[in-house]
Amino acid sequence: MINQYVQHVEQNYLKKDAPQFQVGDSVDVHTRIVEGDKERIQVFSGTVIMKKGRGINETFTVRRIVNNEGVERIFPLHSPFIAKVIVKRSGETRRAKLFYLRQRVGKAVRLTEQRKAKKDDGTATPSERSSESERPGAALAAAAG
């Protein structure tokens, strides 16, 4: 339960189009780096191992391996220094926090890729339609539904 006044004040600072990703996704985080009067974009690629917080305090942690050393970086989700977050791959996971990846080395760090379900929009090919009608009981199912 968050205070209504705090929520109202935070509303102005939240990103309108916050990036959509989940724990286990492989992402590219594009951050703005300001050096003097110049600004550049730096990309941090890795796996999201944790998301926590709420509202303006929401953060996510990205982990990657550099020179056989694990590097984790925590990013505020609504920070103006985060230009964009690109999801390269969706990893399949059953946990909210993937701290067990810290003990893994090499190929064991990889997560299985999450398959996207195909939506049936009614545009089946003629061969698929004929195979449906050849099934036993297909006429009963078509008449019932």
Whether the Cβ atoms of residue 29 and residue 82 lie closer than 8 Å to each other:
yes
Instruction: Tell me the fold of 22-114.
Output: SH3 type barrels. (2.30.30)
pLDDT digits 0-9 by tens, 6-26:
889 999 999 999 889 999 999
Q: Give the C-alpha separation, 50 to 74, whole Å.
A: 9
pLDDT one-digit tens code per residue, 102-134: 888 888 888 888 777 766 666 655 555 555 555
How far lies 55's CA from each of 16, 63, 68, 73, in Å? 12, 23, 35, 20
Q: Is-contact 72 61, C-beta < 8 A?
A: yes
The ranges assigned to domains in the chain are 22-114
Angle at 52 between CA 50 and CA 55, to 5 degrees: 145
Give the pair of three-digit tokens for residue 51: 């998301």
